Every structure is written in structure tokens, then in C-alpha cells.
Structure 1
Amino acid sequence: MGRRVFLSGLAAGATAALLPVSHAVARSALDDLRIQRLAWAGIRLQLPGATLFIDPLTNAAEWGGALPDVLVPVEGGIGDTTVLLTHVHSDHFDAGAVAQALRNGGSLIYPEGTHPLPVPAGARARPAPLWEPQLLGDFTATAVPASDGYGDTQVSWVVSAAGRRIFHGGDTMWHGHWWKIGRQFGPFDVAFLPINGARFGWRTPVSGQPGVLTPEQAIAAATVLGARNVVPIHYGISGVDAYQEVDHPLGALIRVARGTAIEVQSVQPGAWVAWR
């Protein structure tokens, strides 16, 4: 009986000693991933030995003075570097920004059925089919369905790294795939979602319908995805002919999120996401 008590005490002590260490290791791993918001719809995901960009934009001529965002430099990625594109419209595929990000080599991953050119010298480029995980060193990225306002090929991205899972919506509009994405990959630590509900007048006849998520639709998408936090992207344009945002998109997003379990974190270009 004495031996049993002795061994039981050893086991309990070992368990107690291991638990704090395990928790500390898990917390350290979670903290390894840092995410910086770039201009417009772009973000940088940073690990100690790898960098991943989504839709980086540094071209001042793209929106001119209509976009108030600071254009954040993207050169100098740490370790293995990858650029993901949601689609090839020029405000999401900025060839100059991609060349800066991949100046030391790396990979450009783009939606299957699109052909972003030019590809930077020394970089690898390949298409990503929907639902097929891309193993990118310390990152895993999966292209999932999105819907473009003009019907052009577009994807959203699910990225996993260091025990975190994030969603990047590009400039998608509302569609019916949110539930499947949420079931397959949710919940998400953070979703980067467009919120300006833009209406376009560049093609006729003009529909008058939003071709990008509105603030209400962004919160609905986050709810279905199981996103704990939303970082709004793709908003702030003014003074462009035939391009009309909803009024005060950020304020509207915050109002819609009240009373839900979703936290809105407004992150200025150049700043980093704060993990809750």
C-alpha cells in the first residue's frame, strides 16, 4: 500500500510539473505568428523563419489620392517567402509589389485559371486548385471559393500556421460557400474581410448592386465562418468615378457587430494584429 501511494504521488507530481510547461510551449507557438496589415487588401504573415504575403499593394498610381492608406513596403521578407493572390485585378495583383516581396526568390501562388504576369525572375509560380492545400514550408494555405463582382476568377485563402487559422476574403461579394468553408476549416482566429460594399458603374447596364461585401454581409460571413475577430480591409476609397462605397463602412461594421460575439479590430496599414 505504501508503494502504491508513493508511485501515485510521483505520477501526480509529474503531471503537475508537465502541465505548465505544455501550456507555455503552446502559448509560445501561438505567439510565433504575427500579422501586419498592408495597404488596401494586403497582409503580411510573419513567422520566425518564413514570410507569407496576400495581395500586397505598393503601387501609388493604382488608386492615387483616392486611397488614404499608407503604402507599406514589402521587401525584406524573413526566410522562405510566398505571395498568395486572390485574383489578378491590378489592385490585388501588383506586379511591382510581388517583385519586391520575392526579390530573393520564393513562390507566387495564384488561383487556377488565372495567369498573373510578369513572374519575378528567380521566383517559382504555380496555380492553386480550389480546396487543395498548398504546403508552403511552415504555412499551409488553401484556396476556397469566392465570388467576384464581375464574375472574374477569384478565391479566398485559408492559412494555417503556428496553431492559428486565418481567413482572407480578397474582395469577395456574398455567396453560398461560406457554410462549407466554415464547416471544413472553422473556427478562425481572425478573418480579414472587405467591407466597402462597392457598387461599380464601369460596365453597362449598371446593376446598382454591391460587388463587394457590405458591412452587414461581412459580419454575416464572419458568423457563418466561426471567426472570433474581424479585421476590415478593402475600404476607404473616395472620389473615383463609377466606384461608390457604402457610407462610413468602418462605423457601420462596428455597429453591426454590437451584440454579437465577433470583435472588430481596426488595424491601420503598417500596424500589427493584436491577438486576444
Structure 2
Amino acid sequence: MTRLLVHAGGASRRQVLGGGIAAAAVALVSGKAARAGVAPTLRIRRLAWAGIRLQLPKATLFVDPLIDPAVWGSTLPDELIGVGDAVGDSVVLVTHRHSDHADPAAIAAALAHGGTLAYAAGTPPFGGLPDHVRQRPCPLWEPQLLGDFTATPVPASDGYGDLQVSWVVSGGGRRIFHGGDTMMHGGWWRVGRQFGRFDAAFLPVNGAAFSFQQPATDEPAVLTPKQAIAAATILGVERIVPIHYGIAGAEGYAEMPDLLDSLRGASKPGGPRVAILKPGEWLDWQG
């Protein structure tokens, strides 16, 4: 597993300007839809593990799709949802290079007819993809215009210390957040200030601890249910959809018990609503 170095200094002028531009771009998209009285057309389907599919009439965007059964083997009971039926312009966003989030088989299938693979600047290019796949390294806070979608990479913190981003995506009159497998970190407040409210946040919730990291610790390397609710509250999220959970029996990888009940229990009146989706199910915006 390749280790990547991340600059840990303060935000640069370009990052600050990029964040402002990102917020303006997202606000412009949402504002135009609201003024035109257009009903949102975005549909979102949960895929296996941490993956999601965003669907517009003429465009498809995937975040962290997973279809390779060898990645988790029998320890992941999720149904592996195919991604080879993208409609219109196709985009894949990757939060980081771990195989359960950057599955080469899923990326190749989703972009079989062309499209764009977007990932954090500083990440090595992906090998083995067809020449017609456009690879786009994306600096933090800089919005990427990807057909009918706008996507902006924002800070995240990885339990291994590897380079990772979360993604803010807007399209079809909606704005969503995808957290990858981030831990709790201090960047949530800035993301909330830059982008305002979110219609939905897809956040990891399993609070995983890694005993193979030495010296070992019981501290969670992924958001816990309580932390996910806290992060969603800071972001101003209307509904939280839990992802990145369900592993049982993987050596050295332990999830929190009863995590969905804990997630519901951490939710407070007036705060983010919890919407639990099984792989293959579509988000009901009315729910």
C-alpha cells in the first residue's frame, strides 16, 4: 500500500480563494434551480460498502464504487451492485487509493465508454485504464465542472495517515457530501461555512479500530455513529445516510457493535435525519 505525503501547513491563498469559488459555484447551481422553480432531478443510489451513484437524466457520477469481491471477501455481506450501465456523461470520484475505495475493476466498468476519473492532487495516476478515460487530479477547494455536476474535493483525515479527500457534489438542484472513510477532524467547520447546507451526507459510521497498526490502540480510525451525527450537524445536513459498515471477521479490523442503533440514538430532534439504505436502494428525498 503506497504511502503519500500531505502538506500539513495552513491554508494557502489559492485554497481560500478556491473554497470561495466552490461555494459560489454550488450556490449558483442551486440558486438557478430554485429561481426557475425546477423540481430537483437528482437520484442517488447506495452501492456496496462506501459507494454511491448519482443519477441525472443525461449524466452519471459514482463515488468510491466497489464491485471486486476479492477486496473484502466473505467479511462483507453487501450485495455488489454493478456500475456498467452508466447513462450519459460518466464520472468517477475517488476519495483515496485504498482498494475498497479505488477499485480498479469498478472504475474500468463505470468508465467503459469513456468519461472522467477525478481524485486528489498528489495521488499517482491510475494505471491500466483505457486511453479514452480522462484522469483529473484535483486540488483541494477547487471546484471541478464535470458535465452536469460540480464536484469539489475538501479536507479529510485518513486512519492510516494516507492522502484522502471528501467530496462536495452538486447537481440537479441538490448538494451532497461524501466522506470516504474519514475520521473526525477540524475541517468540518470550514466546509460548513464554505458550502452552507447539504441535502444529504453519506458518512462512514463504523468507528473501526485497526489492531494491525502498531502500537495498537482502541481509538477509532473512522467516524463513530456519534461523531458522524456531530459532523453532519456542523455541516448543516438535512439527512445522513450511513456508509462504510458491515464488516465481520476481517483480521485486525474491528467495527463498533450495534452501530445503526447507536446512530439513531445519537440523532436529536431538529438535527440531521437518519436515512438507512441497503446496497441497491435509492434515496427517497421525501423520507
Q: TM-score under structure 1 normalisation?
A: 0.89
Equivalent of residue 57 in structure 1, options 66, 69, 73: 66
1:275 aligns with 2:270: no
2:120 aligned residue: 111
Equivalent of residue 242 in structure 2, options 204, 223, 232: 232
Task: Using the TM superposition, name which of 134-143 and 109-118 deviates more.
Answer: 109-118
Would the aligned equivalents of 2:204 and 2:243 in 1 still touch at CA under 8 Å? yes
2:19 aligned residue: none
- Structure 1: unaligned runs, 5 residues or longer: 1-21
CA distance in 1, matches of 2:274, 2:144: 29
**Richer in helix (by share):** 1
1:11 aligned residue: none
CA distance in 2, matches of 1:23, 1:239: 47
Partner of 1:166: helix, strand, or coil? Answer: strand
Q: Deviation at 1:126? A: 1.4
Q: Deviation at 1:25? A: 5.8
CA distance in 1, matches of 2:209, 2:86: 35
CA-to-partner distance for each residue in 1:172-216, whole Å, 9 max, x for gaps? 000000000001012000000000000001221112211100000
1:99 aligns with 2:126: no
Equivalent of residue 157 in structure 1, options 152, 167, 172: 167
1:12 aligned residue: none
CA distance in 1, matches of 2:190, 2:48: 29
Question: How many equivalent residue pairs?
Answer: 253
Task: Using the TM superposition, name which of 58-67 and 224-233 deviates more.
Answer: 58-67
Residue identity over aligned pairs, in percent, reads 58
2:193 aligned residue: 183
CA distance in 2, matches of 1:180, 1:123: 33
Structure 1 runs, 4 residues or longer, greater than 4 Å off:
22-25
CA distance in 2, matches of 1:186, 1:74: 31
Q: Deviation at 1:260? A: 4.3
Partner of 1:167: helix, strand, or coil? Answer: strand
Would the aligned equivalents of 1:119 and 1:125 in 2 still touch at CA under 8 Å? no
Bigger radius of gyration among the two: 1
2:84 aligned residue: 75
Structure 1 residues 24 and 255: CA distance shift in structure 2, 3 A? same
Would the aligned equivalents of 1:88 and 1:116 in 2 still touch at CA under 8 Å? no
Equivalent of residue 47 in structure 1, options 56, 65, 74: 56
How large is the RMSD of aligned CA atoms in angstroms? 1.4
1:5 aligned residue: none
Task: Using the TM superposition, name which of 205-214 and 128-137 deviates more.
Answer: 205-214
Partner of 2:154: helix, strand, or coil? Answer: strand
Q: Which amino acid aligns with 2:52?
A: I
Q: Deviation at 1:23? A: 8.0
Would the aligned equivalents of 1:132 and 1:142 in 2 still touch at CA under 8 Å? yes
Structure 1 residues 137 and 23: CA distance shift in structure 2, 3 A? closer
Task: Using the TM superposition, name which of 75-84 and 255-264 deviates more.
Answer: 255-264
